[in-house]
Homo-oligomer: A and B are copies of this chain.
Amino acid sequence: MREGPDIARIAALVADPVRSSMLLALMDGRALTATELASLSGVTKQTASGHLAKLVDGEVLAVEAQGRHRYFRLAGAHVAALIEALMVFSSDAASPVRTGPKEPALRKARVCYDHLAGEMGVALYDRAREAGWLTDDLGVTEVGWSRFSAIGVTPDSLPRSNRPPCRACLDWSQRRHHLAGLIGKATLDRLFALSWARRLPASRVVAFTPEGERRFREWIG
């Protein structure tokens, strides 16, 4: 009869036990893959795929493709707020989810295509965002160029390409963004050139030297 905001539509998306368990698993802001969410919720991947499609369609989840993986995360803080409002009704708290790769070395630093990933990569990206090296739409600021120049990454040194100079890439182990794009590649190249780190053979592990790690952390501040 009366028409108000269509709160039933969103509520219905949360009302399914499988979907709600997915949302709870994503409450810490990480991004998980479809199969992870499937096994986590105890359904087959087809079923999970259907649920995830609904959630993305309803703009409750955001999705980011990464090679043959698709990482799903909450669409925003308002989604988390909604889940919290629902959790008020049941007093017991949620239990966290274990995740991530096994090898600590991979967790710490590795190559993602051609740029730095893992804890170190995420630290770089976080720092760059928070210290104003980058704008919200991932442009490089004055401050940013001066910082990147400090390790030899200058505008002139970047190859001419239609590839975006700076891109955020979703991190596999940290489930957060790290720095990708031309600058991401150039930065990783410089880490090798400066001998702050080297790539272990037959592996994606990026091994920092003690001195290299100290310098790196010093550089990002």
* Chain A residues proximal to chain B, CB less than 8 Å: 1-12, 14-17, 19-21, 23-25, 39-42, 59, 78, 81-90, 92-95, 97
Cross-chain contact A94 with B15 (CB below 8 angstroms): no
Cross-chain contact A7 with B2 (CB below 8 angstroms): no
Cross-chain contact A59 with B95 (CB below 8 angstroms): no
Q: Which residues of B contact A78 (CB under 8 A)?
A: 85, 88-89
Q: How far is the CA of A24 from the CA of B86 in the complex (A)?
A: 16
Cross-chain contact B39 with A24 (CB below 8 angstroms): no
Interface of A is mostly: helix
Q: How far is the CA of A83 from the CA of B6 in the complex (A)?
A: 11
Cross-chain contact A41 with B1 (CB below 8 angstroms): yes
Specify the chain B residue showing the minimal Cβ separation from A7. B86
Cross-chain contact A87 with B5 (CB below 8 angstroms): yes
Q: How far is the CA of A20 from the CA of B11 in the complex (A)?
A: 9
Q: Which residues of B contact A39 (CB under 8 A)?
A: 1
Specify the chain B residue showing the minimal Cβ separation from A92. B5
Cross-chain contact A40 with B86 (CB below 8 angstroms): no
Interface residue from B4, B83, B92 paired with A24 (Cβ < 8 Å): B4
Given contacts A81-B88, A88-B78, contact A8 B15 (CB under 8 A): yes
Cross-chain contact A2 with B40 (CB below 8 angstroms): yes
How far in angstroms is the closest Cβ of chain B from A63? 18
Cross-chain contact B41 with A90 (CB below 8 angstroms): no
Cross-chain contact A20 with B1 (CB below 8 angstroms): no
- Chosen A-B contacts, 28 in total, with CB atoms closer than 8 Å, are A1-B21, A1-B40, A2-B21, A2-B41, A2-B97, A3-B95, A4-B20, A4-B21, A4-B94, A4-B95, A5-B24, A5-B89, A5-B93, A7-B23, A7-B83, A7-B86, A7-B90, A8-B16, A9-B89, A9-B90, A11-B12, A11-B14, A15-B15, A59-B89, A78-B89, A82-B86, A82-B88, A84-B85
Q: How far is the CA of A14 from the CA of B93 in the complex (A)?
A: 21
